Structure 1
């Protein structure tokens, strides 16, 4: 859905505004596939899903992917510095390693740490994002305890479109992008490239001492830069109705600087990440469609320090092969797949024994969705057999009922699990090869009301996670956590052209053994956006509020809550030229999401876009 904002009061009196009622109704009915891997309208799914479309991505201007995701319902982000710095995300309070990140259906991330480097994914190459909140192991396998973030790269469309963008902003930031997309109904293509650089700011502050006096004396206030070069491309062929062949590639490389070690000397991470996908889809009949998929993702980064000039290299390759089938039944749709995931991890460090390990996961799954009169039904089951284990079975069932044409109630129950990371299993003097998977059981209920351009929704959930792996050696399965809370969402258009959107999240994420809050999760977060659509563009305001958090386990190092005020606008100087501007943290609020690490102050960005259509 498009984004909303509180600037309505500033421009509501303009008499020449264009009514957006029809557009509002269209964006209220986006189609998603992440919920159960079958295309559905959002209002027909029984999952808790958010869609971030291209308009929202362009409105984000120079914001990073992590900043954009932090403004979505049910997601919290932490960062150890500015653009390019290490980030973590929490979906409904679940840890980064307890969620899955996909790019065009291909799993990405580090097998060593179990996290995905979202900070290195350029927004310019993304068409849309789907966020699935809640357990999804019955659909996507291991690690989907908290949810799934699926990123879709840009694709070709009929005609020929050229897109050129350049802009500059605070902290010595520059961002340039170029893209060409086209198609004729049989062949479509997309090519794009981008270059982003910022001089940045110091990733650390004097509080980084962490109790060591010497580190405060050696605090390093230098700027920490970030560079990201990326290219993407896709080709699709539709030789006949019901048949499609496609291939796509996304590659990004660059570096980010940060301060590390007792003396906090300059350190640099060099990264090169890529995702390759290929698919062949064919409709054999009007009720049977099969798809053969192949995907490979590579996450490779090397950390250099003055004390380690050779660097520490960490590389993960993930290869996916899948055969999928969709069958239209008299009652509903059946989805099935057989899949193989191979994860190869290589860690090369000068000071410890190297890690060179491979894990294979063979899977089979079935899913069924149906709408019978006012009843909505969904059931999924999956079995994963993985190297070093006997296998894991997961399931999900959901039921919804349309109380009226606008009001739907739903309930769901699902299980999930997470496999230990390669570091947790094999890292010298730290890992434990006998670790078991973490597991979870989730219950949730929801209520959604939708009419024309207005949507109201609430979801309450209770997710219990067992066999949690502790964070200090010796690693064992000892802990249990309970993640429960509620998400409230609202979106509407007023006067036909003023868009309002907001969400509030209430979260209780606690260690069941101690009763203490889990680290770096706020108990309350909220986002409000107001956006005014005009003939010559749009203008908007965002307010993002985050409650207090504890930086370390055991409720140590409290970090206060904060609220950020952001402004954005797009002015169309002509049908082909537009000016985009954004100001983040206008109130210049100083805050931190990880103790001792800085975040950006007030910053601005202005860019010009040229989009001729041939």
Structure 2
């Protein structure tokens, strides 16, 4: 039986079909030079020469990738102004976000309607979803500290294991260059007393490669909560953050390279806890990621990559001390910390022209510690998780094959988790070139999410307790795609259907007492279904982009739309260049959503942004980003504020 979602939107699909003819009428001409820093549009450019790694765990040209993949480039990230990383990501199709009153607060990201802990986030290939609540520390990652981001939509557990139900986001911090020395520095100021300072250098010479960058950002902020929020504190919630990234590599023999890499980011942000109205509540988040990698070309067709690394997510809350009513610790501080140690040994085998096989072994150790307040005691006491360590051993195989007009990607993975045992996932995608510019794809992939330490081992605090008998959430995703691409135009449409089972939700242990202890159970099911349209066309020095997401993420047991997610999102952008000057605009329109906590309806809204840049010299550029030009009042989470009209001016120098 055909999906109700497809039937409901059939008329719109038919109306949009002429866009394909519009795109294909564009003559194929030589590709124009890529836009400079301030051209960053609402939808990132798909450049024909771009190479991605995340989609198949090995290098591929972006134009050859079979799935729904986007690359956000360094220029857009480094000129994001006051936009958070999550906000920049949400300008790409299929992604929405929510935070609790500013970029420094807890941030959720939804890819194709999946929960935030159902999307795997990597930094330089290493997972950063913490083991306590499963969320990545997006609030601790300033956009200006990142080189580029690769986004893979759809279930990808057969490539990366747990958490990859909605997709994978790989944040790349290393800046590569083929020059002996390249350097940059920028300084920017904006609304809410915001300022940003960044500098870095990189180079390559005599077999050595190196990079070093650092940055500092601060803001007076705005009041994170509204008066209707129980925790409201009428103050400005400021934040400051800093980051540093470094890498060093040496090719000691042709095809034999040893490299080390380090990334650290820190944010100290204000938020409203409410236990003591005059107390300046702070949340401090520190993310560290480091690795050592040996890349060895063993033969003409065999490359081995051995990497050892670790990531540490440290989260400390500072609230009013000794408040037994609200459960604060005696000194007002509580700390949650995740350490993930990873060993990866990957082998890339070029079997024949157009055929590649990747085999990988991974070992992951997760350790979690936290200050869990026990409300059963008076005064309250603090304890740790009942278990604080688990191991995961994984084997992965990925095959890529190109046979003329036919293309195949197949993947298979087994994860053995010391908590729940084995989980096997797989994926198969087929692509067919209808013409040299039009490709059709069909894919099927499975995914899963392992329960986090909060869900498994949280000590009974009289409100919530973990459930060590939880099973992983599982998903089955299939999708169909059609894509047109030439030098001056792109158009695509993707339909996806992701069925999630064993969904974990919290329910009262005693149904007759809804104010008693809650515990997580595998009792829900969800369907993440939607159609996405994307398009781009150039008219000389003018470029226009658009995307439309029509989705229906719903709990199939309650028939309710999943909270904080809209069923319609439209993104439009355009820019035009006059010599050294560029001017662009962005429109973001979204339908209403349902709040996760209050259940209230959050109204739809529209945002209009402006961006401009001027190349003062070959090495100096001034750029301006003006977000929410018309000062639209909108809500992402009920009871929490969002930024009004805000502008940011950035002066950038690069060698």
**Could you tell me the TM-score, scaled by structure 2's length?**
0.87
Write the distance in 1 (CA, Å) between the matches of 2:559 and 2:82: 40
User: 1:83: Cα distance to partner?
Assistant: 2.1
Match of 1:306 in 2: 320
Does 47-56 or 25-34 show the bigger shift?
25-34
Write the distance in 1 (CA, Å) between the matches of 2:267 and 2:630: 31
**How does 1:363-442 map onto structure 2 within 5 Å?**
363-429=394-460, 430-442=465-477
Write the distance in 1 (CA, Å) between the matches of 2:602 and 2:276: 24
Does 307-316 or 562-571 show the bigger shift?
307-316
**How does 1:235-254 map onto structure 2 within 5 Å?**
235-254=248-267
* Of 334, 358, 383, the match for 1:353: 383
- Find the residue that maps to 1:57 and give its secondary structure: helix
Q: Determine whether 1:221 maps to 2:234.
A: yes
* Of 351, 357, 361, the match for 1:338: 361
Deviations 1:311-344 (A, max 9, x none): 1100000111011001111261000001101111
Q: Is the 1:548–1:558 contact (alpha carbons within 8 Å) kept by the matching residues of 2?
A: yes
Deviations 1:346-384 (A, max 9, x none): 112453421251111000011101110100101100000
User: 1:109: Cα distance to partner?
Assistant: 2.4
Match of 2:349 in 1: 327
* Number of equivalenced pairs: 584
Cα distance change of structure 1 residues 537 and 26 upon mapping to structure 2, 3 Å threshold: farther
Write the distance in 2 (CA, Å) between the matches of 1:443 and 1:181: 42
User: 1:154: Cα distance to partner?
Assistant: 2.7
* Of 484, 489, 497, the match for 2:529: 484
Write the distance in 1 (CA, Å) between the matches of 2:506 and 2:62: 38
User: 1:471: Cα distance to partner?
Assistant: 2.6
Q: Determine whether 1:277 maps to 2:322.
A: no
Does 178-187 or 103-112 show the bigger shift?
178-187
User: 1:263: Cα distance to partner?
Assistant: 5.8
Match of 1:127 in 2: 147
* Of 204, 208, 220, the match for 1:183: 204
Deviations 1:254-287 (A, max 9, x none): 3101011366553111122111022111111111
Q: Is the 1:352–1:428 contact (alpha carbons within 8 Å) kept by the matching residues of 2?
A: no
* Of 643, 646, 649, the match for 1:600: 643
Write the distance in 2 (CA, Å) between the matches of 1:102 and 1:397: 23
Write the distance in 1 (CA, Å) between the matches of 2:70 and 2:206: 30
Deviations 1:163-195 (A, max 9, x none): 111111100101011111112251111111111
User: 1:155: Cα distance to partner?
Assistant: 2.4
Cα distance change of structure 1 residues 340 and 596 upon mapping to structure 2, 3 Å threshold: same
Q: Determine whether 1:288 maps to 2:302.
A: yes
Write the distance in 2 (CA, Å) between the matches of 1:474 and 1:108: 25
User: 1:41: Cα distance to partner?
Assistant: 1.5
Match of 1:7 in 2: none
* Of 32, 54, 73, the match for 1:21: 32
- Find the residue that maps to 1:360 and give its secondary structure: strand
Deviations 1:55-81 (A, max 9, x none): 222332332111101111110000111
Q: Determine whether 1:564 maps to 2:607.
A: yes
**How does 1:71-90 map onto structure 2 within 5 Å?**
71-90=91-110
Cα distance change of structure 1 residues 55 and 453 upon mapping to structure 2, 3 Å threshold: farther
- Find the residue that maps to 1:475 and give its secondary structure: strand
Does 83-92 or 29-38 show the bigger shift?
29-38
Match of 1:111 in 2: 131
Q: Is the 1:20–1:533 contact (alpha carbons within 8 Å) kept by the matching residues of 2?
A: no
Write the distance in 2 (CA, Å) between the matches of 1:536 and 1:365: 48
Q: Determine whether 1:590 maps to 2:633.
A: yes
Deviations 1:502-524 (A, max 9, x none): 21111101111111111111001
**Could you tell me the TM-score, scaled by structure 1's length?**
0.92
Match of 1:171 in 2: 192
Q: Determine whether 1:512 maps to 2:532.
A: no
- Find the residue that maps to 2:78 and give its secondary structure: helix
Which structure 1 residue ranges, 5 or more long, are not aligned? 1-18, 210-214
Deviations 1:367-420 (A, max 9, x none): 101110100101100000001222100000010100000000000001100000
- Larger RCO (CA within 8 A; separation ≥ 6): 1
- Find the residue that maps to 1:260 and give its secondary structure: coil
Match of 2:268 in 1: 255
Cα distance change of structure 1 residues 185 and 397 upon mapping to structure 2, 3 Å threshold: farther
Match of 2:502 in 1: 467
User: 1:310: Cα distance to partner?
Assistant: 3.9
Write the distance in 2 (CA, Å) between the matches of 1:453 and 1:61: 28
Cα distance change of structure 1 residues 20 and 575 upon mapping to structure 2, 3 Å threshold: farther
* Of 557, 574, 585, the match for 2:617: 574
Does 469-478 or 368-377 show the bigger shift?
469-478
Which structure 2 residue ranges, 5 or more long, are not aligned? 1-29, 36-44, 322-327, 374-380, 508-517
- Find the residue that maps to 1:388 and give its secondary structure: coil
Write the distance in 1 (CA, Å) between the matches of 2:342 and 2:174: 21
Q: Is the 2:104–2:267 contact (alpha carbons within 8 Å) kept by the matching residues of 1?
A: no
Cα distance change of structure 1 residues 128 and 564 upon mapping to structure 2, 3 Å threshold: same
User: 1:529: Cα distance to partner?
Assistant: 1.4
Cα distance change of structure 1 residues 278 and 537 upon mapping to structure 2, 3 Å threshold: farther
* Of 172, 178, 197, the match for 1:152: 172
Write the distance in 1 (CA, Å) between the matches of 2:227 and 2:267: 28
Cα distance change of structure 1 residues 23 and 583 upon mapping to structure 2, 3 Å threshold: closer
Aligned-residue CA RMSD (Å): 1.7
Deviations 1:213-271 (A, max 9, x none): xx6xxx42210011101111111212343222221111112310101136655311112
Does 178-187 or 431-440 show the bigger shift?
178-187
Match of 1:57 in 2: 77
Cα distance change of structure 1 residues 29 and 517 upon mapping to structure 2, 3 Å threshold: same
Q: Is the 1:250–1:276 contact (alpha carbons within 8 Å) kept by the matching residues of 2?
A: yes
Does 596-605 or 499-508 show the bigger shift?
499-508
